[in-house]
Structure 1
């Protein structure tokens, strides 16, 4: 019961109403050519969407977040309304936002297939689909996603904790089931598919990473989970093709602001290096930073989640005063009582992130580390990216201005 409909010919910056209905035929074995259209009983709900503005310099705003925990016990969701409360809080911001919210970026762990990893992780296709249906059918997230463009990328819990480092010999079926469900429920929201000449989605899906262009703002949403190479000879968090595409995009894009989404932290580094974030792939991270610095690319902002804590941070270079990148970390939408929140003491701030012959890369916090359920509201203006972290009810917690050059 999941599909994608491609709409063409819509007008820019316009509001559209739509309804969605379906029917199930009593005899699915009957040939399609002999089916008679049954009377449709349309649901009462009328939904609204707004298309993007045409002007390149239009104002844009986004919601960013990650990590929505939902435990199923014996097939019954445990207090699902607690996690759905955050999406009600996001809806309050959407209803009042000026400029309008142009996208909801979910940067990983939208589901936890391994919520009871030791006892009974979801492994069968039936169980995985049930988890997705339960997560996305909660009332507030359903209402939010019906009216706001939603872009997603996976992290490890869409498969299992710290995938693929923890991969076992019998996990091939798990991976196939998890990624099939991911394509249905998450990749389908995103422009990872190309359109065929007939205006339909091309299949099969060639990759999970993709780009977005909204006026003079562009996003590169990386897949930092399924293309990893853990070999010590060529250790990568992105495969060679994705790295090359990312570098080409950075150099060739004329966008004023460039957001790079990576589900795990680009920085800051953790004192407990578990080998899962960019910290464990230092050569590839340095190649990316050196390309940004040498090509003098401005207004690059990394966006991530994963760590169950939110913050902003600035990265500079000891010998190059013009180099500057920022990171926005937003996590979690809803935490498990079994998992801790991040604190500033979890990260390394005393020493350089990278020492090289060309100089040292050093970062500093530009906000407190927020240790509670939250999400981020990004407003891109001519002078800055304003980041407002909100609690689960939509109340502001912290406001940070990231200056643009």
Structure 2
């Protein structure tokens, strides 16, 4: 057996379930199979192997579902692929073959079922890996920060539950002024290059990773800049996105026999929980309505699902991921974020305020700068909403970093008849490559920003109510 060419990537993980993504090489007309096995750390007996046949339709990838696991338990797993000499083999018959597994043993940890146990997460976005003629240019520069994340994870207490990548995991349009990538094969090659660098590969093989797209997985400021000729680009970009980012997410349901149903997705947004912390990861990009009559970032179905979740969830902390910034607004170039959709933003804020929903935190990236900010209401002292922005993992020299002067901070975010929504920064604005380390305990969320070498740049504490 050979080790995966991409992955493994640990995706959605619960107290008793985990999803593992991997990719094999295409062997032309020869059949290719993948396999996985696992065991509780410290034990000798491997599980029965799980096999799958791979095909070019999904770029030789598979998402394995590991079920009936124990909570808060560390597991070891091995995965690989092979092409048997006999062309008539099936998934059932290859189980009888004497296989020599790749020597790499990976580890994963299931979620704890204890509600009040402290949790920790890594958050970041925007990784600019420039490609020239299909080859990454200086790829180590954009892989360096993931080495620092791995180092932090090794000694982290509490253990890191998950990494949240909130958009622009690849830049399809990295050379869009000169030679934009539009073909399916070109976009697939970007995912393969981005996810096969050694440090990010190590990160995703040992820590569950949740992803959602932003514009650069398709085209800058999509769909505002879309033209009729972009239909094929969009189709190709989303096909690749579904393979490499959505496939291992909770957006996919399980089949009746507990395998991942990789049929066409109805939507990309999803929810997951981790004890008394819950996440709603929005699709802030592909369901937009730009018409003047009903401008919206989230389509009707998604908005209603988010409002229902906010109102009914009993989670102590509610994180809402939106790839573009919820607030504060930018002085320039703000038409791509929530700033340009004020009616829908106000509906969300009014629901949170009037329903007395506490400990709501909006998590985003996009602006190539990191910050925390607090939103209050002039006439309602009980209202408070926070935001955590983390961006970028790796910037391009062609793009500026955000600074405090980027944002409108000297006037209310929204003025209404019932009062003003007022906001303020609760941290400095980080204007360099960075990632966020979030620690959620009984009384607060601590937000630590680290530079690409792992040095802590600053810390902010968000008091829970």
TM-score normalized by structure 2?
Answer: 0.85
1:83 is matched with 142
Distance 1:322 1:169 in 2: 48
Instruction: Give the alignment partner of residue 230 of structure 2, picking from 171, 194, 210.
Output: 171
2:404 is matched with 344
Give 1:314 shift: 0.2
Which consecutive unaligned segments of at least 5 residues does structure 1 have?
Answer: none
Deviations 1:252-291 (A, max 9, x none): 0000000000000000000014410000000000000000
Distance 1:46 1:380 in 2: 30
Give 1:26 shift: 5.6
Alpha carbons 1:22, 1:40 under 8 Å: kept: no
Alpha carbons 1:108, 1:154 under 8 Å: kept: yes
Please give the secondary structure, in 2, of the residue aligned with 1:19. Answer: strand
Please give the secondary structure, in 2, of the residue aligned with 1:266. Answer: coil
* Residue pairs, 1:64-79, within 5 angstroms: 64-79=123-138
1:106 is matched with 165
1:199 is matched with 258
Instruction: Give the alignment partner of residue 377 of structure 1, picking from 437, 440, 443.
Output: 437
Instruction: Give the alignment partner of residue 326 of structure 1, picking from 386, 404, 412.
Output: 386
Give 1:35 shift: 6.9
Distance 2:231 2:395 in 1: 28
Deviations 1:152-198 (A, max 9, x none): 00000000000000101111111111111111111123111111222
Instruction: Give the alignment partner of residue 248 of structure 2, picking from 170, 189, 206.
Output: 189
Please give the secondary structure, in 2, of the residue aligned with 1:321. Answer: strand
Deviations 1:379-398 (A, max 9, x none): 00111000000001111000
Q: Does 1:4 align with 2:63?
A: yes
Please give the secondary structure, in 1, of the residue aligned with 2:343. Answer: helix
1:397 is matched with 457
Alpha carbons 1:315, 1:363 under 8 Å: kept: yes
2:108 is matched with 49
Give 1:59 shift: 1.2
Alpha carbons 1:379, 1:385 under 8 Å: kept: yes
Which consecutive unaligned segments of at least 5 residues does structure 2 have?
Answer: 1-59
Alpha carbons 2:437, 2:447 under 8 Å: kept: yes
1:236 is matched with 296
Deviations 1:21-48 (A, max 9, x none): 10134676x5748976665342221100
Q: Does 1:117 align with 2:146?
A: no
Please give the secondary structure, in 1, of the residue aligned with 2:447. Answer: strand
Give 1:201 shift: 2.3
1:246 is matched with 306
* Residue pairs, 1:210-221, within 5 angstroms: 210-221=270-281
Alpha carbons 1:317, 1:361 under 8 Å: kept: yes
Give 1:247 shift: 0.2
Deviations 1:336-378 (A, max 9, x none): 1111100000100011110111110010000000000000000
Please give the secondary structure, in 2, of the residue aligned with 1:105. Answer: strand
Give 1:86 shift: 0.6
TM-score normalized by structure 1?
Answer: 0.97
Alpha carbons 2:117, 2:441 under 8 Å: kept: no
* Residue pairs, 1:218-297, within 5 angstroms: 218-297=278-357
Give 1:128 shift: 0.7
Please give the secondary structure, in 2, of the residue aligned with 1:22. Answer: strand
Q: Does 1:60 align with 2:124?
A: no
2:20 is matched with none
Instruction: Give the alignment partner of residue 40 of structure 1, picking from 96, 99, 122.
Output: 99
Please give the secondary structure, in 1, of the residue aligned with 2:428. Answer: coil
The farther-off stretch of 271-280 and 30-39 is 30-39
Distance 2:133 2:72 in 1: 46
Instruction: Give the alignment partner of residue 152 of structure 1, picking from 211, 215, 220.
Output: 211
1:19 is matched with 78
Answer 1 or 2: which has greater strand percent.
2
Please give the secondary structure, in 1, of the residue aligned with 2:205. Answer: helix
Give 1:118 shift: 1.3
Deviations 1:92-138 (A, max 9, x none): 11001000000000000000000000111111111111110000000
1:304 is matched with 364
Alpha carbons 2:218, 2:237 under 8 Å: kept: yes
